[in-house]
Structure 1
Amino acid sequence: MKAVSCLHSTLEVVDLPAPRPAEGQLVLDVLRCGICGSDLHAKDHADELTEVMAEGGYHDFARSDTPVVMGHEFCGQVAERGRKVGKEFRPGTTVVSFPLLRAHGGVHLTGLSPKAPGGYAEQVLAEAALTFPVPNGLDPATAALTEPMAVAYHAVRRSEITGKDVAIVLGCGPVGLAVICHLKTHGVRTIVASDFSPGRRALAQRCGADVVVDPAEESPYEAVPAGQRGLTELPALYEVGVGAMEKLRRLPGWQHVYRVADRLGGTAPKRPVVFECVGVPGMIDGVIAAAPLASRIIVVGVCMGDDKLRPAMAIGKEVDLRFVFGYTPLEFRDTLHLLADGKVDASALVTGTVGLAGVAAAFEALGDPERHAKILIDPAGTATAP
C-alpha cells in the first residue's frame, strides 16, 4: 500500500506492506485523515517530544531517525476484520477510531509511534473496541474531525463552564476554533476570541464567537461587555471586600447572610473562563498576569518547549489553572454523534484537501494562518496542493 513516511523531517510517499488485523482489530481503508498541529511539530521536533513522553514512561514515541507514518485523525471503511470482531463492523462500514493500538506487546499511539502506523496511508489498523460506526450518513470529511473535536469537547467539559459565564478563547487555530464550536453548542452566551490573524478571526466568527479581537490592537479581557468584566487589580478587590463587610456588619446575624450568599455564589468576583489554545512559551504566565482575578484558565494548547511562570502572581490572583489532554472513549463517541446529529457545526474548520502526494505541500501551507486551518488527506485523491 501507499503511505507517507516521515524520516529526518522529510515526508515521502513510500510502499509498505498492507496491514493485517490481529484478534480484535480492523483494517480500514482510509477515506480522510486530518493533519494535526502535533504532526507539524513532530515532523521537525520529534526528539523533543520523545524525551517528554519517555519521562512519562512511554518510550515508543516517534523519533527523527525512525520512519513513522503519522495521522491520528482518520475516518475509514472496514476492509477486513480480525478474529472476535463483532458483526457491526461488516466490510464497507464507515467508522472512526480512537487512536490507540495494541501492537508489539503494548498499547501505542496511532500515528505518533513507529509501532502503530497512522492514517497518512491507504490503510490503517484500528482496535474494534475503540471503533465507532459513523451514524446518519455523516460525510467522511466531517467524521474525520471527530478526534480534534473530541479534544475540544473534553476541554469544555473540564472547564465546567456554564451558559452565564464569559468564555475567552486565545488562539483561533483548529483547536481554538473547535473549542468555540463546542462553547456555542454548550449555550455560552458570550464568547470572545483572540488571534493575530484576520483569517482566523473570520473563521472564529463563523464558528460562533460573539466578539473577535486582534490582541495587537485590543486586550481580549477589555473586549468583554462592561457588565460582565471581572476585577483586574487587587486593590479593587480589597475595596469591594471592605465595603461589603461595612454594610453586612450592620445586620444582626450578618454571618448567616454571608453564608447564604456564599453558597449561592454571590460572594465570588465575576471571572471569565479562559481557554489558552496557542501553546507557545510565555502564554500561560501572560494569561495569569493579564486575566481578571479568580479566572479559570484551561490550558489546551500544547507547549512543546520549556516554559516558566510566576507562582506568586497566580497565588495572589487566586487563578484556577487546569491542564487538559485528549479525551475519554465516551467523549470520543459522543463527539461523533454531536457532529452526525448536526448539534455541532465544524464545517468552518476544513479549508483544503490533498492526496498522499500533496502531504508535504500541505505541511508547508499550514505554516501560513491566512491560508488554511485544517487540511485533510484523501489517500485516493490526486491533489498535490490544498
Structure 2
Amino acid sequence: MKAVRCIDGRMQLCDVPRPVPRDGQVLVAVASAGICSSDLHMARLGLLNPEITVGHEIAGRLVDGTPVVVEPVTPCGQRCDFCDGGDYNLCPTSVRQVLGIGADGGMAEYVAADVAGIVPLGGIGDGIRDASLVEPLAVGVHGLRLANPGAGGRRVLVIGGGALGLCAAAAARHDGAEVAVLARHDAQRAAADRIGAGEVGDGRYDLVVDAAGTPEALAEAARRARRGGTLLLLANYWGTDIVLPGGSVMFKELRILTGIMYGRGPSGRDIDVAAAVLERNPEVARALVTHRFPLDAVDEAFAAAARRAEGAIKVVLDPTAS
C-alpha cells in the first residue's frame, strides 16, 4: 500500500506492506489524515523515524463501513497510575507508541489501530472526510477541561489563529464561553468569525490560551489576562525555554497551566467530547479545512501546510482520492 514517511528530512510516498492488526487492534481504511504543525517541526528537527508512517490526525472506516476517528495515544494496559487516572497522555509507555511517531500512523491507505482508540462517528455521515479534525479538537477540549471546567459565561482569548488555536476556540464556544481570537492572517480571522469567535475587545479575559508558541504571545497573554486569571499553554515550544513576563504573572497572581494531547476526564474521553463538538457544529470543519490532497501529492500538501500566510489552516490528505 501507499504510505508517507519522512526520509532524509522530506516527506516521501513509499510502498509498504499493508498492516496486519495484532490482538486488540482493528484495521482502519483511512479516509482523511490531517497535517499537524508538529509533523512539520519534527521533520525539520530530524525527530521522525524513516521506518514509521507519519500522521496522528486520522479518520476512516472499519471493515464493516463504520466511520471512526482513531485516537493515536491509548492507555498502556499495564495498570499504571497515569492510565488508571485517565492521564494516559502522560504515561511513558503510551507516549512511546503514539501513532505517527512511535508506531505507524495514518498517512496511508490503512492503519492498524488499538480498539481502545476507536471513536465511532455515528452522526457524522459524509463528514468522515473532515473527521481527522477531531484529534486537534481533542487537544483544545483537554486544555479547556484542565483550565476551566464549565466555562459558560467566561471570557476566553485565544492567541494564535492556526488550527490549534481555532480548535481551542471551538472547544471553548462549545462550553458556552465568550471567545475571541487574536489571529495573524486574514484567512485565520475569517475562519474565527465563522466559528463564532470574535475580535479582541476591551477588558481582560478569565482564560488566555497561548496557541502561538512565541515569547511575544506569552507576553500578550499575560497582559490580556485579568487579575487572578489563567494562562493555558497549548503551543509546543520545541525544546526552547519559555520566558514568562514576571511582573504581570506575579502581581496579577496568574495561574499557569500546560496541556499536551488528551486523556479521560469526569465526562469521558476528551476525544469523544471533540467528536461531539464536530458533529454538532460541522461549520468548524468547513471553516478550518482549507486544502485537500491525494496521497501522491504529499509534496504539495506539506508545502501548502507551511504557507499559512497564503491561507492554509488545516491541510488534509485523502488516501481515497486520486
TM-score (norm. length: structure 2):
0.84
Alpha-carbon contact 1:152-1:178 (below 8 Å) kept: yes
Q: CA-atom RMSD, angstroms?
A: 2.4
Query: What's the secondary structure of 1:347's corresponding residue?
Result: helix
Among candidates 285, 292, 295, match of residue 229 of structure 2: 295
Bigger Rg, structure 1 or 2: 1
Following superposition, the deviation at residue 193 of structure 1 comes to 1.4
Distance 1:203 1:165, change over 3 A: same
How far apart in 1 are the matches of 2:36 and 2:214? 16
Name the structure 2 match of 1:23. Answer: 23
The amino acid of 1:34's aligned partner reads: G
1:338 is displaced (CA, Å) by 3.2
1:114-168 deviation per Cα after TM superposition (whole angstroms, max 9, x unaligned): xx11111111110012212211243212322111111111122222163332211
- Which of 163, 172, 191 does residue 174 from structure 1 map onto? 163
For residues 214 and 51 of structure 2, the distance between their equivalents in structure 1, rounded to whole angstroms, comes to 27
Tell me by how many angstroms 1:311 deviates. Answer: 4.2
1:12 aligns with 2:1: no
Per the alignment, residue 273 of structure 1 pairs with 207
Q: Deviations over 1:318-339 (max 9, x none)?
A: 1111101111251112221332
Out of 325, 330, 336, the residue aligned to residue 260 of structure 2 is: 325
Q: Once the two structures are superposed, what CA deviation does each residue of 1:256-312 show, in whole Å capped at 9, x if it has no partner? A: xxxxxxxxxxxxxxx531011101345334533564433311111111131223545
Q: TM-score, normalised by structure 1?
A: 0.71
Q: Which secondary structure does the structure 2 equivalent of 1:294 belong to?
A: strand
Change over 3 Å in CA distance of 1:175–1:360 after alignment to 2? same
Are 2:314 and 1:374 aligned?
yes
- Partner Cα distance (1:322, 1:150) in 2: 17
Q: Which structure carries more relative contact order (alpha carbon 8 Å, separation 6+)?
A: 2
Residue 199 of structure 1 corresponds to 187
Alpha-carbon distance in 2 for matches of 1:348, 1:278: 19
Whole-Å separation in 2 of the counterparts to 1:282 and 1:209: 21
On the 8 A contact 1:122/1:380 being kept in 2, the answer is yes
The answer to whether the 8 A contact 2:141-2:273 is kept is no
Question: Which among 132, 146, 152 is matched to residue 140 of structure 2?
Answer: 152
- Which one-letter code corresponds to 1:151 in the other structure? V
Q: 1:335 to 1:344 in 2, by over 3 A?
A: farther
The one-letter code of the counterpart of 1:381 is A
Taking the aligned partners of 1:102 and 1:153, their CA distance within structure 2 comes to: 18
SS class of match (2:262)? coil
Residue 96 (structure 1) aligned to one of 65, 69, 85: 69
CA shift for structure 1 position 33 = 0.8
AA of the residue aligned to 1:165: R
- Give the letter aligned to residue 36 of structure 1: C
Provide the secondary structure at the position in 1 that maps to 2:286: coil
Residue 118 of structure 1 aligns to a residue in which SS? Answer: coil
Report the number of matched residues.
Answer: 297
Change (3 A) 1:168 1:286: closer
Maintained 8 Å contact 1:27/1:78: yes
Cα distance change on mapping 1:340 and 1:305 into 2, 3 Å: same
Unaligned runs of 5+ in 1: 48-61, 80-90, 212-219, 231-270
Give identity over the alignment, percent: 28
Further displaced range: 293-302 or 319-328: 293-302
In structure 2, runs of 5+ residues without a counterpart are 79-92
1:209 and 2:209 aligned = no
Match of 1:309 in 2: 244
Q: What is the CA–CA distance in structure 1 between the aligned matches of 2:176 and 2:25, rounded to whole Å?
A: 38
The answer on whether the counterparts of 2:159 and 2:221 sit within 8 Å (CA) in structure 1 is no
Cα distance in 2 for partners of 1:277, 1:27 equals 33
CA distance in 1, matches of 2:197, 2:232: 17
Residue aligning to 2:3:
3
CA displacement 1:219-262 (0-9 Å, x = unmatched): x4xx32xxxx24xxxxxxxxxxxxxxxxxxxxxxxxxxxxxxxx
- C-alpha contact 2:194 2:287 (8 A) present in aligned 1: yes
Aligned letter for 2:189?
R
8 Å contact kept, 2:35–2:305? no
1:363/1:163 CA distance change after superposition, 3 Å:
same
Distance 2:284 2:186 in 1: 21
Contact 1:167 1:192 in 2 (8 A): yes
Determine whether 1:124 maps to 2:108: no
Name the CA distance, whole Å, in 2 between partners of 1:344 and 1:197.
20
Is the deviation greater in 291-300 or in 369-378? 291-300
The question of whether the paired residues in 1 share the 8 Å contact of 2:74 and 2:117 is answered with no
8 A Cα contact 1:27 1:124, kept in partner: yes
- Say which is worse superposed, 331-340 or 279-288, in terms of deviation: 279-288
Aligned partners of 1:28 and 1:77 also within 8 Å: yes
Greater mean alpha carbon deviation, residues 38-47 or residues 281-290: 281-290
